Amino acid sequence: MKSTKIILSGLSLILTFGLFLPACQKLDRPALGELILDPPPPPLTILDSKSYWHFNEDTRDTGELRLSTSATSISFVPGVTEGSAAQVGAGGYMVVRNVPDALKSPGSFSIAFWMNGVGPVQGGAQGLFAISKSTEFWGNFEVFLENLDNGSEALIKIHMYNAGVASGNGEEWTEVKIPGALNKWTHLAMTYSAATSELTVYADGQPTTVNKKVLGGGNYGPLVWENVTGLVLGSFAFQVSPTLANHGAEGWAKSFNGALDQFRIFTKALTPAEVANLHTNKL
């Protein structure tokens, strides 16, 4: 009898404790559905781009500026992602002939894009991007591939002009060799900071040997461009018809021999993390 009472008392204690424990848990811990998590930081989006050409079977600018873009000898091939890319044919280019004020005095400036160029580069320099200057041969900002008989290595040259520089002629030249950049998809970015007067060239998300290059002795400052009559993708400003420069096409200059994808323009200096994000996520 005594044993029975002990067993019953034990069972009663277990039941009481079992009922009490969930009550304590309910008071101390919210239900899983009530847990509120902070949202992840937003990635760099299309809306951050002043201009953005995705090249999914068209040459529309779907960035903020919605620049009207016409195309000559452009076809479409599989891109770096699921969509298509713009294949630049012989003598081909994409041109914007009405450039808004936002791109005429940008202060800081960046471009980022994917390219799949044929190497080695022979038979003429190949234009990649230009902001024209109608009174001069070279544009305010011009990027091209120079001849280099070295397989898949790319030699990129950048010409910059800044009317806002207090001394000198405002002209700067930069060149960089990038091993293994041709015959495959390579992400390129060029960023300029008005605050530091520094230019950086990135390849596949990483700085190249042109890393925080100081322009104008540190006094290059905010970019102010003159006589901007157009913008060109896939060629030089002087190669388009009618020309955007002070004279016409040159025999040594060619259109880009390859495909372009996800071309973006920014009026700010992209951070290293932003450039890496564009590359990693194939944006």
SS3 of 71-112: the string is: EEEEEEEECCCCCEEEEEEEEEEEEECCCCHHHCCCECEEEE
Q: Is 115 left (phi over 0), alpha (psi -120 to 50) or beta?
A: beta
| pLDDT of res. 249 | 94
The single-letter code of the amino acid at 175 is: E
CA–CA distances in Å: residue 120 to residues 61, 115, 132, 145, 146: 30, 14, 27, 10, 10
Q: Which CATH architecture has domain 47-280?
A: Sandwich (2.60)
What is the number of alpha carbons within 13 Å of residue 143 lying toward its C-beta? 19
Domain segments of the chain: what residues?
2-34, 47-280
| pLDDT of res. 188 | 99
| pLDDT of res. 43 | 52
What is the number of alpha carbons within 13 Å of residue 148 lying toward its C-beta? 23
Helices (H) and strands (E) in the chain, counts: 2, 15
Contact by Cβ (8 Å): 236, 130:
yes
Distance CA(38)–CA(105), nearest Å, equals: 38
Prediction pTM value: 0.83
| pLDDT of res. 18 | 44
| R_g (Cα) of the chain, nearest Å | 28
Distance CA(219)–CA(199), nearest Å, equals: 13
Q: Which residues contact 94 (CB under 8 A, 6 or more apart)?
A: 53, 59, 69, 70, 71, 72, 74, 86, 232, 233, 234
Angle at 265 between CA 262 and CA 268, to 5 degrees: 135
The residue with tokens 């540190």 is 218
Three-class SS state of 121: strand
Distance CA(102)–CA(65), nearest Å, equals: 9
pLDDT beneath 50, residues of the chain: 1-30, 32-42, 44, 46-47
